Amino acid sequence: MTDLSGKTALVTGSVKGIGLAIAEALAEAGARIAVHGIAGDAQIEEVCAHLKSKGAPQAEFFAGDLRNADRIAELMAAVAAWGGPDILVNNAGIQHTAPLAEMPGETWDAILAVNLSAAFHTMQGALPGMAERGYGRVINIASVHGLVASKDKAPYVAAKFGLVGLSRVAALEYAALGKRDLGGVTVNCICPGWTETAIIQPQIDARAAAFGGNLEAGIADLLSEKQPSRRLSEPAEIGALALWLCAPIAHNVTGTAIPVDGGWTAQ
């Protein structure tokens, strides 16, 4: 098993969904978890306690509005003062579906800021320290929409394609840094297809409405259109892959965009 004792991981958007599942996997491997996301005090306290129960020696919340570069700089400085990050997971994301001609300009700006520009700023803050220590992991949660497009998702697709490209540039710039026994510095994307998270619920609800509110029928219809396995992924599956990418044995896995999509992008 991967041992992350002594490592600090910042996981953005880690109070629920895929981000929480990744934080859980890293906690179970002994990492300290810098929790981030949009949540009230009670939820923050609950998540931090939960991650400690999973094995994290420490779990603390760090605030930071990912739409604002100055707030991101403050977030990264606070996590650095706490002892990291050795592992950076850019998971936070937002979504809005509408035809290109009807997409509000402010929605475009917000989605690009959170889903792409924020990763640039966090990586710029984290990667130099990783290089100095000889070990570092950046795992950017892109999407199947970082590899193929879909209608009505112009800003989301643009951001996720950009995130894959940004990650490849960073991977090349840091590929030769660090040593194999320490694990080196790697930058990769995970590209989930349909996964059981709140971000896809509006699309499931819309499909279910066409079947008289039948949720299972709506999910089946959604999956049949894109995902050949016709199975949703669970967030824990993404967490398991992220954990493996953090292992020193993955030192030569860098610059990749790994789909977890039931064959979606194989078509």
User: Residue 178: its pLDDT value, please?
Assistant: 83
User: Residue 105: its pLDDT value, please?
Assistant: 98
User: Residue 216: its pLDDT value, please?
Assistant: 87
Identify the CA nearest to 29 among candidates 62, 64, 54.
Answer: 54
Whether 156 is catalytic: yes
Could you read off the pLDDT of 146-177 as tens digits, one per residue?
999 999 999 999 999 999 999 999 999 999 99
User: Residue 221: its pLDDT value, please?
Assistant: 86
The proportion of the chain whose per-residue pLDDT surpasses 70, expressed as a percent, equals 100
Assign domain 8-196+235-260 one CATH number from 2.60.120.200, 3.40.640.10, 3.20.20.70, 3.40.50.720: 3.40.50.720
Q: Is residue 61 very low, low, confident or very high in pLDDT (cuts 50, 70, 90)?
A: very high
Could you read off the pLDDT of 113-140 as tens digits, one per residue?
999 999 999 999 999 999 999 999 999 9
Residue 254 has pLDDT above 80, yes or no: yes
Contact between 31 and 1 under an 8 Å Cβ cutoff? The reply is no
Bridge partners, residue 8, by sequence: 32
Averaged pLDDT for residues 231-251: 97
Residue 23 has pLDDT above 90, yes or no: yes
Residue 141 has pLDDT above 90, yes or no: yes
Radius of gyration for the alpha carbons in the chain, expressed in angstroms and rounded:
18
Averaged pLDDT for residues 15-34: 98
User: Residue 44: its pLDDT value, please?
Assistant: 98
Q: Is residue 202 very low, low, confident or very high in pLDDT (cuts 50, 70, 90)?
A: confident
Q: What's the Cα-to-Cα distance from 49 to each of 5, 33, 40, 183, 227, rounded to whole Å?
A: 18, 11, 14, 29, 36
Averaged pLDDT for residues 66-83: 98
Q: Say which of 75, 76, 88, 156 is annotated catalytic.
A: 156
Residue 219 has pLDDT above 80, yes or no: yes
Average pLDDT, the chain: 96
Domains of the chain, by residue range, sit at 8-196+235-260, 197-232
Question: Token pair for residue 215?
Answer: 């949720």
Got the DSSP string for the chain?
----TT-EEEETT-SSHHHHHHHHHHHHTT-EEEE-SS--HHHHHHHHHHHHHHT-S-EEE----TT-HHHHHHHHHHHHHHT--SEEEE---------GGG--HHHHHHHHIIIIIHHHHHHHHHHHHHHHHTEEEEEEE--GGGTS--TT-HHHHHHHHHHHHHHHHHHHHHTTSS-TTTTEEEEEEEEE-SBSSGGGHHHHHHHHHTTTT-HHHHHHHHHHHH-TT--PBPHHHHHHHHHHHHSGGGTT--S-EEEESTTGGG-
User: Residue 226: its pLDDT value, please?
Assistant: 92
Could you read off the pLDDT of 82-97 as tens digits, one per residue?
998 999 999 999 999 9
